[in-house]
């Protein structure tokens, strides 16, 4: 269904926990519009979102959306499966970003409440050939609040033909919007390695150690745009190779605001984590007004034999889980 279809309208459902945390979800892009977390100093909306729902129809930033079929980039918007070559939508300097211009972020999903689970499930069927991707793909994304302050996201996909799949959520986090920019935040990522990229953000295929580089975020690190040890600003749009890439659920990152005292632990079963510091955000937002922590497979995996495979075959099931665990606390310095 095209995003401009006049027969469709954007709808919202809000989940609430007993502790008062609220998550507002949209049927357009299976997106997160808001995550409101009660703290000692008041309620903090931890993600960016448009106040007017219709603005999502013209969104250029993948705001809070489920991105796919392939999150992140596919170099030259081309890949092969066995002896079959496929050309997909080249929507960024000749590469395919987040599934193309009309990716999952620009689709109306079927959204329904799961009353017995206090959850919301979004479903979408992507036809064979959509944006150039092979195979009919059936996708579900389930959102559920557990343990008062944790949002669990479960992804599932099946196909009727060999294809590639990489799904992720593209929420922009800011744990203290009074500070306006994420420069005041601290971050920690459990990754000893990252995947270097060229000027178009396409991986070289190398897996490099973070030691003695600005990618060493293994200890709590301030995101202020001061120069780091190797003389570069702390601007990121890079994939980190997570330490425990075994398909089990692990805590892989922590984002925290010293001013609000609110922290978020990210847990995932995925092998990679894309950190994007929002440097290209524009009106009605500002650059670095929020950052993305996209738990996913590696970028350009269909063209990189050494990377974990993104291939999905008929009879197999793509499954992954990501959890945003919020921890209200006291401000610190």
Is 209 catalytic? The answer is no
Catalytic residue among 98, 105, 130, 170: 170
- Alpha-carbon gap, residue 188 to 157, rounded angstroms: 30
Q: Given the structure tokens 């599932």, which residue do they identify?
A: 156
Nearest Cα neighbor of 61 from 212, 265, 280, 222 is 280
- Alpha-carbon gap, residue 303 to 297, rounded angstroms: 13
Nearest Cα neighbor of 265 from 212, 186, 211 is 186
Is 190 catalytic? The answer is no
| Token pair belonging to 172 | 């922009």
3-class SS at 196?
A: coil
Q: What is the signed CA dihedral for 50, 53, 57, 60, rounded to 10 degrees?
A: 0
CB 275 within 8 A of CB 236: yes
- Alpha-carbon gap, residue 131 to 164, rounded angstroms: 13
Sign of CA dihedral 42, 178, 266, 21: positive
Catalytic residue among 98, 130, 265, 294: 294
The dihedral region occupied by 19, where left means phi > 0, alpha psi between -120 and 50, and beta the remainder, is alpha
Looking at the annotation, which residues are catalytic?
170, 294
């Amino acid at each position: 269904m095209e995003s401009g279809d006049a027969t469709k309208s954007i709808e919202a459902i809000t989940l609430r926990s007993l502790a008062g945390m609220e998550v507002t979800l949209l049927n357009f892009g299976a997106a997160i519009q808001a995550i409101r977390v009660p703290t000692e100093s008041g309620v903090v909306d931890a993600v960016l979102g448009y106040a007017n729902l219709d603005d999502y129809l013209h969104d250029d930033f993948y705001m809070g959306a489920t991105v796919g079929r392939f999150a992140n980039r596919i170099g030259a918007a081309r890949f092969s499966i066995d002896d079959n070559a496929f050309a997909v939508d080249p929507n960024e300097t000749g590469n395919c970003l987040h599934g193309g211009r009309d990716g999952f972020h620009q689709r109306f999903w079927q959204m329904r409440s799961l009353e017995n689970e206090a959850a919301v499930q979004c479903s979408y069927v992507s036809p064979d050939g959509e944006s150039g991707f092979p195979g009919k793909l059936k996708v579900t994304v389930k959102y559920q609040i557990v343990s008062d302050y944790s949002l669990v996201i479960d992804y599932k996909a099946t196909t009727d033909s060999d294809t590639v799949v990489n799904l992720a959520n593209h929420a922009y986090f800011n744990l203290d919007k009074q500070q306006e920019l994420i420069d005041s935040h601290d971050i920690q990522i459990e990754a000893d390695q990252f995947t270097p990229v060229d000027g178009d953000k396409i991986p070289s295929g190398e897996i490099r150690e973070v030691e003695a580089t600005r990618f060493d975020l293994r200890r709590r690190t301030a995101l202020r745009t001061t120069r780091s040890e190797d003389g570069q600003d702390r601007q990121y749009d890079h994939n980190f190779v997570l330490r425990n890439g075994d398909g089990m659920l692990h805590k892989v990152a922590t984002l925290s605001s010293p001013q609000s005292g609110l922290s978020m632990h990210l847990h995932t079963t995925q092998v990679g984590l894309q950190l994007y510091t929002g440097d290209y955000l524009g009106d009605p937002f500002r650059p670095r007004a929020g950052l993305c922590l996209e738990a996913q497979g590696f970028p350009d995996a269909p063209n990189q034999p050494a990377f974990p495979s993104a291939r999905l075959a008929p009879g197999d099931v793509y499954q992954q889980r990501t959890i945003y665990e919020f921890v209200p606390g006291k401000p610190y310095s």
